[in-house]
Structure 1
């Protein structure tokens, strides 16, 4: 059995200690009113072997070359505190919705690593963390990948600030076996309605108060934030148009914003006489509710809301839609509220509209997004057509109770 190496220098600025390699750096601090030179040990996470000495030297070179080292950063900071600092700065750079997604991913990381210091994190720790996301929380591969990307981004920043010499998350790969084991079966054909299924859905809810809201979502292919953001000022009864220029989003808080997701999302639709009458009826119903609730009515200019004027929480139409679908087992059970947007594309494809026109109608920012849904719809219709043709050629025998008895 080989004897462990003695602690000591391995290369310029690289030393071995307790079986691992460290980069040695110095900074000047004030101590008792005197400026002194303080030695710092920065873990590389590499075992003390001859092969790793070169890697450690390369890490040291990258660290020395960086122009962004922040000497004021606490090099004993915990990962939890470092994530909080990172996310607080991110709030200034991204939308509230994006900040919210960072917040939840960051919490997942903090729950696992606790008060472990940034400089103590190793590749094996990151591997265990990613595996646990599958095994304990049963997250899907896309979600685990997003969390890993955030962790790696945060640790990249730690490298630039000189807290660690390398990013232990960078080379870690997601466990494919676990990803497959916990992957949920997904039928892409369940993501949207065919034109017949869409009409069946509307027929089943025509007596409910939510009918108009889901009709508008389906007919115009609106996103949830656009649907909830519809205000009476967006409806021009004279020119018979509807403008999409305001959204309601859920991030760390509910936000009411005079902008859409992208420039392409800002659009105007022509309204038919029947649709104008529908909105008139909704306005009449609102006026009736205003009198019914009296001083308890909550004034606002949003179209889709509770009877007393209280605004829908962003999740309300999503959860209500899901509960309605469960009661209609003949319809695709995998469809979500956002699936009404894809269903709009499905119907337009069935009607022979070209991809570019569909893209403008639903407000997709890029051609590829529309094309993907277009391809799915065509694939679904092609399979149905093939099935019908095969059935006309290859027929089954007739099955009756008599056959079963025999």
Structure 2
């Protein structure tokens, strides 16, 4: 007999028969379920795994201990530093304080359901953030399943809040022109022009070195990026193969980059040995690169100072996309310039910027029917 179900008050107890010990004593494991259907599912999964001769590891490990165990034994060797930082942040600040003491093998769907409610109502996190936490937990429990710590991934049994659809913000052509005028000869001139004229990401802007810029051939290569993981700065290859790309430098951007290069050459002579030869395009007067977050902080303060519409630096990338599309540039070409992994990503992010009335499509039918 693999097990049985009995009702205890308003709940259901699942008894799992694990055989006998060396003295013939019966070994059992008990799990509490909130509903009869959940209890039946637990028992069915246990019986299925028994037929596969799958035996769980005998452990008293808590969920918090398991999450740290996975970080040290799997994530550490298989994920980038920035991903590790994100995982540890969620685990240490949110998951462990709320349900880290629950034993891994006694973790139930209602624990997760209650946790997600806590994130929404008490922590005031967005539904999209809850989905990120859920993805982290689900991946962790998949690992637990493979390591035979648990019989099933309980994350599959919970309900998630509906995601809030992201809509990118952007400037009009007139607003972008005004921004370009305002940043002239300021510290933000280079990053704003790179974002506005080429649609570069923040990590691509702060990670750009002169060795990847050819002013004579008017070509700029995205070969590495700079990002942060807490207090640590991480220099790495771009996020995907398509993100590594070569872009033409238009006239206005060429002038800005040439001015920046000339200024840095002057400072090298003036400061001599005190100049930091980091080779970064966006750098302090002494050659040292700015902190990764500095450019976004400076940009926000700049918009307030000049009373310009509120916008994130990353939204200049969206502005780049919307203006190009408005002027008839093919979506595939925009996707390649942005460094997206595929055109589907571009369409998903910027679909609300594109023609919602399907004017060209509908007019094509009208023209076809009215041909002589």
The TM-score normalised by the length of structure 2 is: 0.82
Q: Would you say how many aligned residue pairs link Structure 1 and Structure 2?
A: 353
Contact 1:80–1:114 (CA<8 Å) still a contact in 2?
A: yes
Match of 1:100 among 62, 85, 89: 85
Q: Return the alpha-carbon distance in structure 1 between the equivalents of residues 39 and 56 of structure 2.
A: 25
Shift in alpha-carbon separation, 1:209–1:149, aligned structure 2, 3 A: closer
Match of 2:14 among 10, 17, 21: 21
1:52: how far off? 6.4
Q: Does 1:44 align with 2:22?
A: no
1:369 partner SS: helix
Name the residue aligned to 1:203: 181
Q: Return the alpha-carbon distance in structure 2 between the equivalents of residues 81 and 53 of structure 1.
A: 26
Q: Does 1:12 align with 2:5?
A: no
After superposition, the CA RMSD in angstroms is 3.3
Name the residue aligned to 2:342: 366
Most deviating of 370-379 and 229-238: 370-379
1:37: how far off? 8.2
Q: Does 1:282 align with 2:267?
A: no
**Mapping of residues 72-151 of structure 1, within 5 Å:** 75-88=59-72, 89-107=74-92, 108-151=94-137
Once the two structures are superposed, residues 54-98 of structure 1 have per-residue CA deviations (whole angstroms, 9 ceiling, x without a partner) of: 434312123325677564xx5100111100111231232222233
Name the residue aligned to 1:378: 354
Once the two structures are superposed, residues 26-62 of structure 1 have per-residue CA deviations (whole angstroms, 9 ceiling, x without a partner) of: 598xxxxxx888865444332696x666434312123
Structure whose alpha-carbon radius of gyration is higher: 1
Once the two structures are superposed, residues 202-245 of structure 1 have per-residue CA deviations (whole angstroms, 9 ceiling, x without a partner) of: 21221312112211111001111211121111112332211111
Shift in alpha-carbon separation, 1:62–1:160, aligned structure 2, 3 A: farther
Name the residue aligned to 2:322: 346
Shift in alpha-carbon separation, 1:328–1:320, aligned structure 2, 3 A: same
Shift in alpha-carbon separation, 1:324–1:37, aligned structure 2, 3 A: farther
Name the residue aligned to 2:362: none
Q: Return the alpha-carbon distance in structure 1 between the equivalents of residues 269 and 346 of structure 2.
A: 44
Q: Which runs of 5+ in 2 are unaligned?
A: 360-372
Shift in alpha-carbon separation, 1:273–1:47, aligned structure 2, 3 A: closer
Q: Return the alpha-carbon distance in structure 2 between the equivalents of residues 298 and 40 of structure 1.
A: 68
Most deviating of 160-169 and 114-123: 160-169
Name the residue aligned to 2:368: none
1:345: how far off? 0.8
Name the residue aligned to 1:310: 288
Q: Which runs of 5+ in 1 are unaligned?
A: 1-10, 29-34, 384-406
Shift in alpha-carbon separation, 1:212–1:122, aligned structure 2, 3 A: same
